[in-house]
Amino acid sequence: MSLARAKQHTTSFVPQPSSRRLGIQMRFFLLQVAVFTVLMAILAAVQILALQRSVRESYGERALLISRTVATIPEVVAAFDDPDPSSTLNPLVNRIREKVGADYIVVGDKRGIRLAHPLPDRLGKPMVGGDNDAPLAGREIISVATDSLGAAIRGKVPVRDAADRVIGVVSTGYLLPTVHSIALQVSATLLPWFGLGLLFALLSSMWLSRRIKRAMLELEPEQIAALVQQHRSVLNALQEGVLVVDAGGQIQLANPRAAQMLGIPTAGEAPPRLEAVWPDLAQSGLLQGGNTENESLHIGSLPVLAGVFAMPSGQRLVVFRDRAEILQMAEELTQTRRYAELLRAQTHEFHNRLHTIAGLIQLQRPGEALAVIQQEASQIEALRDLVADIELPRLAALVLGKYQRARELGIRFRLEPGSALSAAWAPHSQALELALGNLLENAFEAVMEKARGQERNVTLALGEDPEGMQLEVSDDGPGVPAELGRRILERGVSTRGEGRGLGLSLVHQQIAQLGGELSFFRRGGYSVFRVSLPSSALQEGA
């Protein structure tokens, strides 16, 4: 987790929407058009039905009133006694029809035979429609029926003589197509409102879609969904815990790693508060400050390194990782770099020896070449004898490699006689390698600060007793400045400039985790760094 990484912008290639999908603006418009069309259709249907019902009622009442008026005209009643009623009734009734504007007025006798009709050829023929029973029985009715002129709304009234006997029937009708045309004409008045609704739908969809797209960073919904899926997959794959905490201290997002380390409940429940799952961070004050990184915190008893970064709307991004994992990676990197340096030193040394041997052979001095080979072999044999009592192979190999490195640098590196370490410490071999490699490298750098021509001495001592084991690295360099003191063991504190101060911190943390101690002091002009592990570490390692 580096601050440089946090300051950079993430490069994101937004997925392109399908060319077959309409944009959100067009979709909003079509949706609103569909909604307005359905609403207008429902409104038009309701109004047409209501209008038809109103027209039928008004025309039915009008037809009934006209029939009632015709049935009470004395000339009409008297004509029923004439030998030829049609000759009197038909002209009279048709004049009335023309004045009142009815489509037809038909008068029939009590048998239902037409005595008056707009079409002369229909006279003398039976009335049709099948609705004469009620009027001939003395009741007035309004009906919708199909007669010889078509479907019509009809008002039928009985004709009574002076003795109040039913002697005929009067039927006044208005043809239904006329009613339909009136309904359609009135319905057409809705069309301008429908046009205004469509215009409003277009303008509102354009305004709303632009606001939404601006809020969605000019992205289509499908693009947002694709980006969310990408980011969710990235968060799920991260080995670091990631939290988003709002200004009120509630956790808004936690990736699987964070949920696992903090024991956050599964999705679907109320968002937990940070102080309930990670009180150390909630009480640290880091969420109220600026951006920070590599802050040492604890989740219960688990040490972690956390970084806190500001987000919009007062939210905070928290990225954290198990400190042991980071230390392990740093240790692996340190070991890899150390092995590379040792191999380079050995390669350089052997190249020099090979060049010397090759030159002696070319000068035809095989005896001297053989002497160089024997000297090299004896030195290697002596070194092997020197580390024979170190029963941890990787530790012994590290000592041999550092010996070659010291020769390359012109440093006198000495292993104290009697130095030994049993194989019982093998479970902690990695921690001891880290400690020995960093302490020797620091000692080499310290003595290299001495003036040219001065002796540079580094000494290593290894030993164990019933109480535990000790590892001492001493050098005749300038030593640790008094003003630093124990701060030299803190991360980032170094006498050699920026970007240093990691090695001793790693050694201190690793040894402390095993219950041991890293100490340093001056002794006889030498700076001594001592690593002590108690015998109890053997039982824990086992």
Q: For residues 200 and 194, is the Cβ–Cβ distance under 8 A?
A: no
pLDDT tens digits, 230-240: 777 777 777 78
pLDDT tens digits, 110-127: 888 999 988 888 888 888
Using pLDDT thresholds of 50, 70 and 90, give the confidence band for residue 452.
confident
Higher per-residue confidence, 382 vs 79: 79
Using pLDDT thresholds of 50, 70 and 90, give the confidence band for residue 103.
confident
At 340, the amino acid letter reads A
Q: What is the pLDDT of residue 328?
A: 63
Q: In what order do the strands lie in the sheet with 316-322?
A: 251-254, 241-245, 316-322, 302-310, 292-299
Helix, strand, coil percentages, rounded to 5, for the chain: 50, 20, 25
Helix (H, G, I), strand (E, B) or coil at 110: coil
Burial class (CB in 10 A: 0-12, 13-18, 19+), 93: buried
User: Is 50 exceeded by the pLDDT of residue 187?
Assistant: yes
Please compute the mean of the pLDDT values over residues 392-399 and round it to a whole number.
86
User: Is 90 exceeded by the pLDDT of residue 276?
Assistant: no
Using pLDDT thresholds of 50, 70 and 90, give the confidence band for residue 1.
very low
User: Is 80 exceeded by the pLDDT of residue 206?
Assistant: no
Q: For residues 425 and 468, is the Cβ–Cβ distance under 8 A?
A: no
At 392, the amino acid letter reads L
Higher per-residue confidence, 503 vs 522: 522
CA–CA distance from 59 to each of 88, 105, 173, 174, 493 (Å)?
27, 14, 9, 7, 104
Residues paired with residue 475 on neighbouring β-strands, in sequence order:
458, 527
pLDDT tens digits, 151-174: 788 899 999 988 889 999 999 988
Residues paired with residue 315 on neighbouring β-strands, in sequence order:
none
User: Is 70 exceeded by the pLDDT of residue 186?
Assistant: no
DSSP 459: E
Using pLDDT thresholds of 50, 70 and 90, give the confidence band for residue 10.
very low
Q: Which two tokens stand for residue 484?
A: 């630093």
pLDDT > 70: percent of the chain: 78
| Mean pLDDT for all residues in the chain | 79
User: Is 80 exceeded by the pLDDT of residue 289?
Assistant: no
Q: Which residues, 6+ apart, have CB-to-CB distance to 254 below 8 Å?
A: 241, 242, 243, 244, 262, 264
Q: For residues 410 and 348, is the Cβ–Cβ distance under 8 A?
A: no
Q: What is the pLDDT of residue 469?
A: 92
pLDDT tens digits, 131-150: 888 888 889 998 887 766 77
pLDDT tens digits, 37-91: 787 778 777 777 777 777 778 888 888 999 899 989 998 888 888 888 888 888 9
Q: What is the pLDDT of residue 157?
A: 93
Using pLDDT thresholds of 50, 70 and 90, give the confidence band for residue 258.
confident
